[in-house]
């Protein structure tokens, strides 16, 4: 019987260990205590619901120690926990699934050793076997955190080894030019657009997906970069001052693109000024013969006192710039605009499948660098027309009579506002599905309230994910006297899609404006 019960317990442990590792990976393995903060935020869901069953079980073990009764109780409780875990994993929408990397495998080994040690010493101390298993199951999320801390020296050695290899490889490629891309949002979209445009003339390799950390750049250099590559495009993410500089010291970019400076990750950076300084580390690390591309419509870029004399190319829509987009027209099939280049009297027409002003800025940045690198305008026009939408970034998807505008990656004040502007341009019924914005620190409620006010001006129906998380959005809707009948509050994103089908009109546009819903469970 004990073997059967242990097997059932192992099945449950599989679910919670996988979940803890997934959350560790998404929270950068507790860098800046991100995972620990996530644990505190989710304490009730993770611990209290489990605690009642464990207290009940331990009470029976200690005071009504009838062997078969304990066996049956243990079996029933853990079967129910397995069903609950399976139900949660089925309902949760995950955009960034767990990636079983070498680091995850090392963590699993450490966790396994910790569990064996706890069982061994628990039995040595004559603690009831079922109490030991229950203790391990209850504290699994914290055991995973302990394993991360134990592995820190190992991970540092592994990182330094791979870093040296990457830096040596770059030294042996003197003809390779590096483009760095950073900003509060739009980095991945800008990188993908730039890759497609520069590839019409150069052998270009970008960091894959959203791998924008030192590990991501090192992996790309060591595994993907080869002697035929001419341009390496490095997406650079940061959560605090100094992290962009660390990436620049690794790859030494000659060209730099700064998308927009917003309020994303305000909680981690500490202030808008710190975000501004952190992002400009890219431009200020460029060599004297390099080129920085900045946005003339972003006051935080225009007003920054640049500390080096690197050549700057300005892009813009609302203000005069070296590369300016005018006559912008958006429809559900894409966007058209005219390009004006300073010093050139010709007006050039461009067409793209992408939606929104944010993507126009990204295209302008790619055109500016491509033009500087001597790519013909006609080739730039063809490249822009062929650029594909980036997954989860204002990507339009068709489902019968419903058009989904998928902007479900890393929502922030400027990006979410632009996404609403795109939705507002569409005909038919307009619906939004969102849990709001996170990691904005002390301004989070204020920005989500403004978001709610903007939603009220655009949307016919509002679907909010998470009652607590969306209180500020709800307040913004009420500020605009939005009809409560058209506000729908759900616990899980997956439940929104059946509701959309009930709410749809003859032609319906649904904006999915989410920020990693798996972090809101």
Query: What's the pLDDT at 264?
Result: 65
pLDDT tens for residues 228-247?
999 999 999 988 899 999 99
Query: What's the pLDDT at 51?
Result: 62
> By the 8 A CB rule, do 136 and 119 touch?
yes
pLDDT tens for residues 441-485?
778 899 999 999 999 999 999 999 988 889 999 999 999 999 999
What is the SS3 assignment for 392? coil
pTM for this predicted structure: 0.79
C-alpha–C-alpha distance, residues 466 and 452, integer Å? 14
Spatial CA neighbour of 277 closest among 307, 316, 247: 307
Query: What's the pLDDT at 521?
Result: 39
> By the 8 A CB rule, do 4 and 76 touch?
no
**Which regions of the chain are under pLDDT 70?**
45, 47-67, 85-95, 263-268, 270, 410-411, 515-521
Give long-range contacts, CB 8 A cutoff, 24+ apart: 132-140. 133/6, 133/9, 134/54, 134/57, 134/58, 136/13, 137/9, 137/12, 137/13, 137/16, 137/50, 137/54, 137/78, 137/81, 138/47, 138/50, 138/51, 138/54, 140/13, 140/16, 140/17, 140/20
Domains, the chain: 2-150 (no CATH), 165-386 (3.40.1190.10), 395-520 (3.90.190.20)
């Amino acid at each position: 019987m004990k073997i059967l019960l242990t097997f059932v317990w192992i099945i449950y442990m599989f679910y919670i260990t996988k979940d803890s590792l997934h959350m560790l990976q998404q929270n950068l393995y507790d860098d800046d205590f991100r995972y620990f903060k996530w644990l505190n935020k989710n304490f009730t869901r993770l611990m209290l619901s489990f605690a009642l069953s464990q207290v009940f079980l331990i009470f029976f073990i200690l005071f009504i120690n009838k062997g078969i009764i304990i066996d049956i109780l243990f079996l029933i409780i853990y079967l129910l926990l397995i069903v609950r875990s399976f139900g949660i994993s089925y309902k949760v929408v995950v955009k960034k699934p767990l990636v079983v990397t070498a680091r995850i495998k090392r963590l699993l080994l450490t966790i396994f050793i910790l569990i064996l040690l706890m069982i061994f010493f628990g039995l040595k101390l004559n603690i009831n076997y079922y109490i030991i298993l229950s203790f391990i199951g209850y504290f699994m999320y914290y055991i995973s955190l302990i394993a991360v801390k134990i592995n820190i020296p190992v991970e540092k050695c592994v990182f330094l080894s791979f870093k040296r290899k990457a830096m040596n490889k770059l030294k042996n490629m003197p003809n390779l030019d590096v483009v760095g891309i950073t900003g509060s949002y739009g980095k991945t979209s800008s990188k993908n657009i730039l890759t497609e445009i520069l590839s019409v003339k150069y052998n270009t390799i970008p960091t894959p997906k959203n791998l924008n950390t030192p590990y991501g750049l090192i992996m790309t250099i060591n595994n993907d970069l080869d002697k035929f590559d001419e341009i390496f495009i490095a997406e650079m993410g940061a959560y605090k001052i100094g992290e962009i500089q660390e990436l620049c010291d690794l790859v030494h970019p000659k060209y730099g693109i700064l998308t927009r400076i917003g309020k994303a990750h305000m909680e981690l950076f500490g202030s808008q000024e710190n975000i501004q300084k952190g992002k400009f580390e890219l431009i200020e690390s460029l060599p004297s013969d390099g080129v920085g591309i900045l946005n003339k419509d972003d006051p935080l870029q225009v007003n920054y006192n640049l500390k080096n004399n690197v050549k700057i190319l300005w892009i813009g829509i609302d203000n005069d710039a070296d590369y300016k987009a005018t006559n912008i027209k958006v429809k559900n099939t894409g966007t058209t605009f005219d390009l004006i280049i300073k010093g050139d009297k010709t007006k050039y027409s461009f067409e793209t499948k992408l939606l929104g002003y944010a993507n126009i800025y990204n295209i302008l940045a790619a055109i500016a660098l491509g033009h500087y690198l001597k790519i013909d305008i006609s080739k730039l026009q063809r490249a822009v027309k062929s650029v594909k939408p980036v997954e989860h970034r204002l990507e339009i998807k068709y489902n019968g009579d419903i058009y989904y505008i998928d902007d479900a990656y890393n929502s922030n004040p400027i990006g979410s506002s632009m996404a609403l502007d795109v939705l507002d341009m569409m005909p038919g019924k307009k619906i939004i599905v969102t849990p709001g914005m996170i990691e904005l620190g002390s301004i989070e409620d204020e920005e989500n309230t403004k978001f709610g006010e903007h939603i009220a001006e655009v949307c016919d129906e509002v679907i909010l994910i998470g009652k607590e998380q969306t209180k500020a959005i709800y307040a913004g809707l009420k500020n605009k006297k939005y009809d409560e009948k058209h506000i729908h509050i759900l616990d899980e994103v997956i439940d929104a899609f059946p509701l959309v089908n009930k709410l749809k009109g003859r032609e319906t546009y649904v904006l999915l404006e989410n920020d990693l819903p798996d972090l809101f469970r």
